[in-house]
Structure 1
Amino acid sequence: MIARLPASLTPAADAAALFARLSQQECAAEGLLLHGADLSGTEYEGLRLHGVLFENCRLTGCRWERASLTDAVFRGCELSGSSWEDSFFERTEFTDCKAAGIRFGQTGWRQAAFSGCALCGAGFDYARLRSVKFSHCALDQATFSACMWKDLCFSQTALCAASFLHTPLAGLDLTGCDIDGLAVSDTNAELRGAIVTAAQAAMLAKRLGLVVRI
């Protein structure tokens, strides 16, 4: 487990009202448990969350931009269509979450994990990803344009028609992923140095107009 949750968490009775107050006062929420909370459509800017567990919560279409999350865990949550632009995540985990079309543009990440999440159409454009792992996730048609990354890992993850425009993939292991229709620039420069299987290499060779004979 990456996140360091407190041994004891305080249940939050009215999370929407609490977060609205903390956002206005520029105070941090610490050591909270949110179970089954419906925060759909809420809008907070600059929210700070430390040691918070979200279980089976709904955050559909919420806008929590410029937020700061440390030691936060999302389990079985619905986050589709939400926006977290310009936010920072440290030691944060997402497990078995639905987050189609979620927007993580211009976010910063340090030690984070996504496991069993549906992230189709997610936007990570201009994100800074450090020690981030995606395991058994669906990232079809997701965008990772102009990202900076270090120690990024995709394990058993679907990346069909995902876009890595202007994001160098040198050293990135894609062998456990479905990369059919992966989108890069016309020069294919992003693919240089990427680690792929022989079958994946044959598929990518078609982008270069090559005919592979076996």
Structure 2
Amino acid sequence: MSLPKIEAPKLPKELPEIKLPYEELESEESFHTGIISDCTIDNQSGYKVAFDKIIFRNVTFTRISMKEIELTDVIFDRCDLSNVDFGEATIHRTEFRNCKIIGMDLTGATVRNVLFHACLADYATFRMANFKQINFQDCSLLSADFYESTLQKTHFEACQLDRAQFTGTKLAGIDISSCEFTSLGVSMDDLRGCIISRGQASVFANLFGLVLKE
């Protein structure tokens, strides 16, 4: 199956270095066109803070709560966003590359044209999020929570999905055949139409108490 076509971030060839203010970010504040690199952003909160045409490179985010954050044409490169609260975010044409996003909270987020590549995303929360044109590539998603999410044109390639929660999430047309897991939180109805490998069939047989006959 071909991967979903994803629009890449639209960024100018050259971006100036910029810095965030040390004081608390103001709600509905916006930042445009620049690189933020090699720093720690600590103890910040804000509502509807917007980042447009921004590259975050080697940035650590700690004690961050930015409800309804807006990310457009953004790249996170080798960043640590563990446990950030981006609940109800709007994210478009954004890439997370080689990032640590353990426990990231994207509950209720709207996510479009986003790439997660080689990310450590264990225990990340995507509950009731709406995904369209998304690629998860070479990511660890152990115990990640996709409860009652909407997945459209979403692909999981070579990901670790053990104990991931998909209850209430329709997986019709979703390809997880290259992923590894020994258990998933999913119902038979949710799984209908999901694309799996022959080797994974035994996992689901055990999950639903079925017996495979040689």
Q: TM-score, normalised by structure 2?
A: 0.92
- Determine if the alignment matches structure 1 residue 7 to structure 2 residue 13: yes
Match among 113, 123, 126 for residue 124 of structure 1: 126
Separation in structure 2 between the aligned mates of residue 16 and residue 145 of structure 1, nearest angstrom: 36
Separation in structure 1 between the aligned mates of residue 194 and residue 32 of structure 2, nearest angstrom: 40
- Determine if the alignment matches structure 1 residue 74 to structure 2 residue 42: no
1:206 Cα deviation (Å)? Answer: 1.6
**Letter aligned with residue 194 of structure 1:** C
Aligned to 2:107: 105
Secondary structure of 1:58's counterpart equals: strand
1:10–1:50 distance in 2 versus 1, CA, 3 Å:
same
1:69 Cα deviation (Å)? Answer: 0.7
Secondary structure of 1:189's counterpart equals: helix
Runs of 4+ in 1 over 4 A off after TM superposition: none
Separation in structure 1 between the aligned mates of residue 42 and residue 193 of structure 2, nearest angstrom: 42
User: Which ranges in structure 2 are unaligned for 5 or more consecutive residues?
Assistant: 1-6
Q: Deviations over 1:95-130 (max 9, x none)?
A: 000111110100001100000000000000000000
Aligned to 2:3: none
Aligned to 1:39: 41
Q: How does 1:53-202 map to 2 (within 5 A)?
A: 53-185=55-187, 188-202=188-202
**Letter aligned with residue 77 of structure 1:** C
Q: TM-score, normalised by structure 1?
A: 0.92
RMSD: 1.5
Aligned to 1:203: 203
Match among 29, 32, 35 for residue 31 of structure 2: 29
Secondary structure of 1:200's counterpart equals: helix
Higher strand share: 2
Q: Percent identity?
A: 26
Separation in structure 1 between the aligned mates of residue 81 and residue 29 of structure 2, nearest angstrom: 23
Higher helix share: 1
Contact kept? 1:61, 1:80, Cα under 8 Å: no
Secondary structure of 1:60's counterpart equals: strand
In the alignment of these two chains, the number of paired residues is: 208
Contact kept? 1:160, 1:181, Cα under 8 Å: yes
User: Which ranges in structure 1 are unaligned for 5 or more consecutive residues?
Assistant: none
